[in-house]
Amino acid sequence: MSKSRVEDMEHLNHWIGESIKRGAIAILTHRNGDMDTVGSACALANIIGPNARACGVHLSTMARTMIAKTGADFLVMDSNQPSWPRNLGGVIIVDAAGPNQPGIKIPDVPKCIIDHHSAGESFEIKQSDLEINWDTCSTAEIIQLWAETYASNRIDNQSRMLLLAGIITDTGRFRHANADALSSAGRLADESKIDFSEFIEDMESVELNNSQRVAIAKALTRVETLDAGRWFLSYTKAGTNEGIVARTLISAGADIALVCRRIKGETRLTARANRSATRGGVHLGQLMQNMVDRSGGEGGGHAGAAGWTGKIDEIDATSGFISLLMASQGDD
């Protein structure tokens, strides 16, 4: 670990210790509730102990399934009337690139931001706050390094499974993993005697209700395709489970998959790319940052998986992304 990262871990450990002295710690996820943000929050809360609790406004289908399978504790909060502990010593916000991403008003207490994205509106950092933002494949890796350094005796198999699930999903089942992510996953699997193939298969055996199955099927019947320069793009609209729909389109042969959803007056884009596209120069996270420049909102992510949320309509959002994808290829 570099000197700067060692110092970050020291500062994080100190911040957690000081916050516990003041009261409880809320560990807040971003509003999409994917596996990296939820796994990181639940594992960190579990490792810190009874003075910490993971919370957020939403759980994705996979995160909800993993919460049930591991027995982890997670509080789903009402975004309009959040219930915070009476003595709140601090808030840790995990895997959120900007202040609007949690989807909830953050209380005026010391806060700690732990993230691995470069996009989005910056948090206001006060003297009592701490911000850690590393160029890692997942936030779970940062949580794991702190735990291995300062709380190794408190890392149980539940926490290992949650962190591993976060790494697996944010690396696209290791398709976009680097050496550090693979090393982190290997340590988690080795220490908990997890078989990777069985674990991933178990993760992906998500139980969907009939309405979700119908919604996914409808999204797949609405698929349109386009030769977007060098890349074969499949895009559609979905009412739920955009990540599952996008992964299905990639498995069906798309180089890039784009799924659009309209929810609560906002438009959300979810994109995935295969390994060939990312090796060929596609960086979906950068494209979603460009969407922010073009149309406002919030966006970002990784080379092979990214998202954007904003106020424009679905047609404008989809056409905007396609235009940016074409423009990013230049004269190739």
Give the mean pLDDT per block of 10 residues along the chain (332 residues): 90 97 96 93 97 94 90 94 92 90 92 81 88 93 97 95 94 87 94 86 74 86 93 93 88 94 92 92 92 89 87 95 90 53
Q: What is the pTM of this model?
A: 0.80
pLDDT at 207: 63
pLDDT at 120: 57
Q: Which residues pair with 272 in a beta bridge?
A: 257, 305
Q: Tell me phi and psi for residue 105, to 5 degrees.
A: -70, 125
Residue with tokens 């911000």: 131
pLDDT at 332: 52
Query: Rounded to an integer, what distance in angstroms lies between the CA atom of residue 291 and that of residue 285?
Result: 10
pLDDT at 201: 80
> Is 305 within 8 Å of 211 (Cβ atoms)?
no
- Strand locations in 188-301 (E): 224-228, 231-237, 256-263, 266-273, 298-301
Same topology between domain 3-204 and domain 215-328 = no
Cα separation values, 180 from 107, 145, 262, Å: 34, 11, 36
Structure tokens at 253: 């042969």
CATH code of domain 215-328: 3.10.310.40
pLDDT at 134: 93
pLDDT at 97: 80
DSSP symbol at 282 = -
**Dihedral over Cα of 285, 287, 289, 292: its sign:** negative
- Could you give the 3-state DSSP secondary structure of residue 92? strand
Domain spans in the chain, listed from the N-terminal domain onward:
3-204, 215-328
Q: Tell me phi and psi for residue 301, to 5 degrees.
A: 145, -145
Residue with tokens 């291995």: 148
pLDDT at 176: 82
Q: Which of 269, 256, 331 is nearest to 300 (CA)?
A: 269
> Is 288 within 8 Å of 261 (Cβ atoms)?
no
Query: Rounded to an integer, what distance in angstroms lies between the CA atom of residue 332 and that of residue 329?
Result: 6
Residues 6+ apart with CB under 8 A from 177: 137, 167, 171, 185
CATH code of domain 3-204: 3.90.1640.10
Strand 231-237 and strand 256-263: the pairing is parallel
